[in-house]
Structure formats: C-alpha cells, structure tokens
Structure 1
Amino acid sequence: MAFHEIRFPATLSFGSLGGPERRTEIVTLANGFEERNTPWAQARRRYDAGLGLRSLDDVEQLIAFFEARQGMLHGFRWKDWADFKTCRASQAVGPLDQSLGFGDGVSTVFQLSKTYRSGEWASARVIAKPVAGTVRAAIGGTEVGEAVEWSVDTASGQITFASPPGVGAEITIGCEFDVPVRFDTDLVQVSIASFKAGAVPKVPVIEVRQ
C-alpha cells in the first residue's frame, strides 16, 4: 500500500466522530472468573469522515479526496481534533512534553511517542506522522535547535540528533501529529436530496499500521 503524505482537509475532519479502539479477548471459565488478553500492543483508531460535511462544497471536496486516494488503496494523514498534541489540549506544545528515554552516548535516532497515564498505569503510542514545523526537542531539560542539533523525518516520526546525547541525559520532545489512516470503504454514496434534508453519508476511516 502506498501512503500519500497529505492531510485530509482539517475543516472536514472537525466534527467527525471517532477515537481509539482496543481488541480484548475474554474467556469465561467454568467458575465464572474471566481471563482477559489482548493481541494489540496499541489501540487502532476509527473515524467517520461523513459527519464533518456541512455543505455541498464539502461533499465535492470529499469526493475529490476519495478519488485521488483511489478509495482504500492509498493512505493519508488525518487530524484527530480530540488528540493531536503531545501536551494537554489547552496547552501549547513544548520541548518537555514527552520523554523518549535517556541517552547512552551512542544512539542518535529515537522514535517519537506519546505516553497516556492514568494513576500508576501508562500506555505508550508511537507517533509516526508529526506535523512539520511543530516539533521541539530538549536534551537534559535544555531545548536544542532544529537543523543544527537535530532533524526529524515527518514520514516516519524518527528524530535524529547530530551527535549522541550524553549517557543518562533525558531526551524529551513536543509536537503536533496526525494519524496515518485510509478509507475503510471503496464506496461513497451521496444523495443530494438527503444531504439537503440534513442526512450525511457514512465514510469510515481507519488507522493503518506502518
């Protein structure tokens, strides 16, 4: 599958319905107790692109985007308005938002990620599609400049430092990011009469693993 480094129009994704999906396998034992397991290390996100449509111009824009991706064939970027920053929604992105680990004096490449915490538990999510121009980085709590000290691949989410961070130095980052997705249908059905009456087409979108 090819991936097109283009974002689905953010004005259309705003107002869409969607979020993370988990897969849990549950076995109920004879004594009534349960055994639960999951084959997924990370959640997979689903959205409905149809709910963001508000006008016939929006419908035309959606169809053009759908045709250019050839339906389910090619992936694209999606802005999840409920979760698109490494910090809290009300805050501005900063270089200390998320920890990527600690330097060992050898490694120069690190994968961007975001950790979700609740109480004593946490779950890490790989950030594969950072938004260009929003990434900030720090080593040992001190922000370091892009281009001179580091560079980032916005297609993979890997940050590369010009020289290895020192042993024990914490590497932290902050950024906005998109979700890599594809359409989950090869058919978009739109009735202009129904749309004018307030009905919108269902256009499922699903996250892709890369």
Structure 2
Amino acid sequence: MGVGGRMVVHGKKNKENRGWVNRVPIEKPPFTLSQIKQAIPPHYFLRSLLRSFSYVGCTLAGVWVIAHECGHHAFNGYQWVYDTVRLILHSALLVPYFSWKISHRRHHSNTGRYYDRLASHYNPYGPIYSDRERLQVYISDASIFAVIYVLYKIAATKGLAWLLCTYGVPLLIVNAFLVLLFATYSLDIVKSIDKNCAS
C-alpha cells in the first residue's frame, strides 16, 4: 500500500473462497512503470496551467478531466493550486475530492485488493484511509454537503424541475461521456505504447 496507508487484512481467506477476485491477476506484469513511461512520447508529459484551464471551455466533461488530471499531478506544478481546483470541481460534480484522490492512488498501486469491511469514500474511519488522512476525508464530506446545500437552495428558489434540467441531466451526460472519453483515451495510450515498443 502507499506510504502511511493501511494494509489490507486478508485473514485466513484463500483463493478458493474469494469468488470473482480469483480472476484478478496477482502476479507482477512483465514490464516496469519506468518502461511504460519511456515508451510514451515526451510531449504527453508537458504541463501547462493555461492549457489545463482551457479544457473547461470544451465541454462540461472538461471539469472532470481537469479534476482527474489534478489527481495525477498533471495539471500544473503547484500542489495548492490543483488541490484547490480539484476540491471545487469534484465537489461540484458531487464527488468527494480527497477521499477519491487517496483511494484512486491506492487503486493504481493495488488494483483488485479487497477490504475486510465496507469501504466508503464518505467514511473517514473506513479501511481505505489511515489516521493521518481522516481530516482530508472530513473536508471532502463537508464540501459535498456544502454543494448539496447550494443545490437545495437553488431548487427552493428555481424549482426542482429547473435544477434537474440545468444540473441533473448535464451531470448524467457528463458521467456517460466520461466513460466514453476515458475508454478512448486509454485506447490511444495503449496504441501509442504498442507503436513505441514495436519500433
């Protein structure tokens, strides 16, 4: 697990009684992360604050793209900028920022790990988080509640139908577009790696 992270307690479970988890590969891949990075063209690693902000104007899905890239430190070189930007953008999308950042980092380093109890992004005492990360989860939860309160006030003023048309439906479209966008993005990266490895 990540530095300071909580190790997953496996107990006496074996492969036979883990169900669908058996299909998850547990061996290390035949390549390293540095080999993958070397196969990706250098221009994919260039970061620009201006260019990153420009993606907000493309589509509402740009909000999610920027929030996601902030989590991978690809938005710019300033921690406080991307933490602030991502907290606001994630909260606007009703996604807990710090909670998701921590679990997403763990997901990339430990795909397919399971927990001995319910793991929730909203529970500061869940198995995903260490003691030093609890305050960040509280901040994420407070931000989500703040957005829900703002949405409630808007619904009280403009009406629920107006809120669903101007916020709810676009949010559903963003999430549908998000799946398509990242599937396409992932395919492009895989093609780029294949091309560079073949040459």
After TM superposition, is the score higher than 0.5? no
Q: Which has more strand, going by share of residues?
A: 1
The alignment's TM-score, normalised by the length of structure 2, stands at: 0.20
The alignment's TM-score, normalised by the length of structure 1, stands at: 0.20
Q: Which has more helix, going by share of residues?
A: 2
